Amino acid sequence: MTVYGTRPEAIKLAPVIKALEARQGLDLVTVVTGQHREMLDQVNAIFGIVPDHDLDVFSHGQGLNSLMARVLERLDPVLEKEAPDALLVQGDTSTVAAAAMAAFNRRIKVIHLEAGLRSGDILSPFPEEANRKVTTQVATLHLAPTSTSKNNLLRESLPESTIAVTGNTVIDALLEAVEQQVPFTDARLAGALESGGRILLVTSHRRENWDGAMERVGQAVRRLARTYPNVTVVLPAHRNPVVRAALLPPLADLTNVIVTEPLPYGEFTRVMAAATVILTDSGGVQEEAPSLGKPVLVMRENTERPEAVDAGTVRLIGTDESRIVSEVSNLLDDERAYREMANAVNPYGDGRAAERAVAAIESLLIGGERLPDFDA
């Protein structure tokens, strides 16, 4: 059984779900929590996934405790009915931690995809760092995306035999989605890409940036848009009203800023591929953009994904308004600085992560050999 609730989880699980469905000897039950209802449904449609159960836990304005309580309450009868041998979760959302605990309490094996990410700060990212550490404690099999993640787990005294390095399945999903060339539903985006002009893609939603930081991000993007009128800023706005109230007011009167609803995954990958620079606080974008040769400036103080920072395609810049403006301006103005970051170096995967993950799952449940670990 696999359980997921957000768009990033759906994207990263989709290649594994498809690979599991294609294997004989394993029966798969797919459960969604509906934490990101519309965005979740869009990803399922792109990859042709039809869930077996929908817990429908989303409620406007609910807090983290309410969300986790609903997942526990509504997942438990499904676990009782289906009686799976193992439960597969991905990443570090509240859905992941709650589902893992629900399975553990019924003595069901937990398989954790994208295991071993660590920022070293329990409050950043919040609540993800705590969620992933909780899930590690109850997992039987840890599918680490990189050797760095594996080493994090080994430092926490996990047996090496319980860890497989798969690469990140987001690369499998990205390569498939980019090939599809999904048409844009927003004519402004189609026009921006057809013009061939430079594009600054901005995404910001992290909870730890809600307290003043997101207002600084909005002001920084405003300054950049006014300084570079020939650069189109594309900002898919997260639906959370706290995010929108902080981020969007400074951008309302700017003609070269395109604010959209959250983009379907296929459209978002097209914008990423066309972008000149990406400014984000997202974890997934840090993994995807290096595959496309895009410089990524991360508006966080730390990251649990250091591999691309080490490779030089990702830079941590924090949320200071002046620094954001300076870092983006440097890439837009200095061709040499841009080239140094725009290297198609991808330490996260080679498009075969799902294949390695399924082999490790088969080895756990029905025997057989794992594939060699991914080595960037």
Positions annotated as catalytic residues are 92, 114, 128, 205, 207, 238
Cα torsion angle, 15, 266, 310, 124, sign: negative
DSSP 48: T
**In whole angstroms, what is the distance from residue 8 CA to residue 35 CA?**
11
Query: Which spans in the chain are helix H?
Result: 7-21, 37-47, 64-82, 94-105, 128-138, 147-155, 169-180, 187-195, 213-227, 241-247, 265-274, 283-288, 307-311, 321-333, 335-341, 353-365
The SS3 call for residue 55 is coil
Q: 147 with 372: CB under 8 angstroms? A: no
CA dist list (Å): 354 to 137, 343, 363: 23, 25, 14
**Which residues, including other chains, have CB under 8 Å from residue 36's CB and lie 6 or more apart?**
5, 6, 7, 58
Tell me the one-letter amino acid at 103: A
Tokens standing for 371?
Answer: 């594939």
CA dist list (Å): 109 to 85, 101, 105, 306: 6, 10, 10, 29
Tokens standing for 312?
Answer: 């030089």
**Which residues, including other chains, have CB under 8 Å from residue 11's CB and lie 6 or more apart?**
43, 170, 173, 265, 284
The SS3 call for residue 351 is coil
Cα torsion angle, 45, 47, 53, 54, sign: negative
**In whole angstroms, what is the distance from residue 251 CA to residue 254 CA?**
6
